[in-house]
Amino acid sequence: MPAPLTDRRVLIMATDGFEQSELEVPRSKLREAGAEVRVASLKNGEINGWDEGDWGNAVHVDLLIADANVDDFDALVLPGGQINPDLLRVEENAIALIQAFASAQKPIAAICHAPWLLIEAGLAKGRSMTCYKSIRTDMINAGAKLVDRPAVVDGKIITSRCPDDLPDFCGAIIEALADAPTDA
């Protein structure tokens, strides 16, 4: 079992329409492992999840994406859902933050439709990745090597397909954080 993550800080980037479980489960599992987890979004206050065909629970926003600094965190988690990544992929600050995590060689974990954000950030080409079935063609067109597994790790990029994959997704994030040097 990986060492406790008591010295680790993780940023979850999301906005309204995030897949409820894809934010809440990683946040809970990372906190249980000892990590400090914060949520960054496009607006202050709360953002609303999407859960099984309707609006879900609200989640408190800790900081604006524009104010997030890669130096303050050890990893970035990108929940999916169809709405959330589609809204974020047109936001310059969101894409710049993803690129900053990649440049800093820090883990970036994206599930479901969130690999759209990795495509937009220019991080898909040549990487082994997985995603939700409806964006597979997008991943292939972006140059990713599509793999159909619950969690795929390629360097510092972790991808998963759907909520059913959350145990593997969370495990891969925790393992990446346990193995990574701390500088946040």
Would residue 63 count as lying in a domain? Answer: yes
Would residue 4 count as lying in a domain? Answer: no
Q: Looking at residue 2, what is its pLDDT?
A: 52
**What is the secondary structure of 58-80 as a DSSP string?**
EEE--EEGGG--GGG-SEEEE--
Contact (Cβ atoms closer than 8 angstroms) between residue 146 and residue 129: yes
Contacts of 5 (CB under 8 A, 6+ apart): 30, 33, 34, 35, 174, 177, 178
Largest separation between any pair of C-alpha atoms in the chain: 40
pLDDT (tens digit, 9 = 90+) per residue, 43-96?
999 999 999 889 999 999 999 999 999 999 999 999 999 999 999 999 999 999
Taking Cα atoms as reference points, which of 10, 17, 52 lies closest to residue 31? 10
Q: What's the rounded Cα separation, in Å, for the pair 173 and 155?
A: 12
Taking Cα atoms as reference points, which of 12, 22, 16 lies closest to residue 162? 22
Catalytic residue among 27, 113, 127, 161: 113
pLDDT (tens digit, 9 = 90+) per residue, 117-166?
999 999 999 999 999 999 999 999 999 999 999 999 999 999 999 999 99
Would residue 3 count as lying in a domain? Answer: no
pLDDT (tens digit, 9 = 90+) per residue, 102-119?
999 999 999 999 999 999
**What is the secondary structure of 126-140 as a DSSP string?**
T-EE---GGGHHHHH
| Residue 113 is among the residues annotated as catalytic for this protein | yes
Using CA atoms, how far residue 76 sits from 6, 11, 54, 55, 182, in Å, is 16, 5, 26, 24, 14
Task: Show the domain range for 101.
Answer: 9-179
The tally of domains found in the chain comes to: 1
Contact (Cβ atoms closer than 8 angstroms) between residue 138 and residue 112: no
Would residue 2 count as lying in a domain? Answer: no
Residues in a beta bridge with 151: 160
Would residue 1 count as lying in a domain? Answer: no
The whole-model pTM stands at 0.96
Would residue 118 count as lying in a domain? Answer: yes
The encoded tokens of residue 75 equal 């990893």
User: Tell me, what CATH number does 29's domain have?
Assistant: 3.40.50.880
